[in-house]
A and B are shown apart, each in its own frame.
Chain A
Amino acid sequence: DQQVKQNSPSLSVQEGRISILNCDYTNSMFDYFLWYKKYPAEGPTFLISISSIKDKNEDGRFTVFLNKSAKHLSLHIVPSQPGDSAVYFCAATFNPGGGADGLTFGKGTHLIIQP
């Protein structure tokens, strides 16, 4: 059973508009969430993260919102630019005893920015 779900395999957004990518999780033990961006033939690149003690984290054009009660997070990109076209992965982890374990990833959403 998938613990991190990205239900939209693809998303098309016009350049300059807001892109909203969604992610749901089922494991209530997760306490740290990350977004990665991936171009073809490259490794995932860390984009932004949020701890479960926060409900929002912002970095330039990127903002991540966390709704713990709904077990839902979203990534907002505004304004969207052509270079944002990539696959975006949502990931989650938990740290029992302070250890950094592997990340649990969603299947990814392919974001396409149209001119």
Chain B
Amino acid sequence: DAEITQSPRHKITETGRQVTLACHQTWNHNNMFWYRQDLGHGLRLIHYSYGVQDTNKGEVSDGYSVSRSNTEDLPLTLESAASSQTSVYFCASSLDTLSETQYFGPGTRLLVL
């Protein structure tokens, strides 16, 4: 079955380290998104991509970067992890620019010490 997966599911890192969170989908969806979920904030958009080589900043993009080299993957990189980036990260995808419904992965819980 087609699906969207995230790895790792849990990660502990230290302040200043570079961290990359993986997102892989097998639906052949053009659009992919990264969100973070924090208490009192719901989910907030970090970055998104409409297709290969396309990336766009979301509401809370500072300190994060993404790259889209193929349709299936959108890795999220924290260039220099900060304690404020401790959060649960969700990846999502949608079929194309006419599809508003997004489908979410299981999440990655990141702790920055």
Contact = CB atoms under 8 A, between A and B. Distances in A.
Interface of A: 4, 6, 32, 34, 36, 41-46, 49, 89, 91, 93, 95, 98-108
A98 B90 CA distance: 24
Given A42-B106, A43-B90, A43-B106, A103 B45 contact: yes
Interface of B: 31, 33, 35, 40-45, 48, 50, 58-59, 90, 92, 94, 96-107
Given A32-B100, A98-B97, A99-B50, A105 B107 contact: no
A33 to B, nearest CB: 9
Please provide the 4 A-B residue pairs with the shortest distance between their CB atoms, ordered closest to farther.
Answer: A43-B104, A102-B45, A105-B42, A107-B42
Contacts of B106: 41-43
Given A46-B101, A95-B100, A100 B42 contact: no
B94 A100 contact: yes
A102 B104 contact: no
Contacts of A93: 100
Contacts of B31: 100
Nearest to A108: B42
Nearest to B6: A43
B105 A100 contact: no
B42 A99 contact: no
B107 A43 contact: yes
B100 A44 contact: no
B48 A45 contact: no
Contacts of A6: 42
Given A103-B102, A105-B35, 6 more contacts: A46-B101, A102-B33, A102-B48, A103-B45, A107-B42, A108-B42
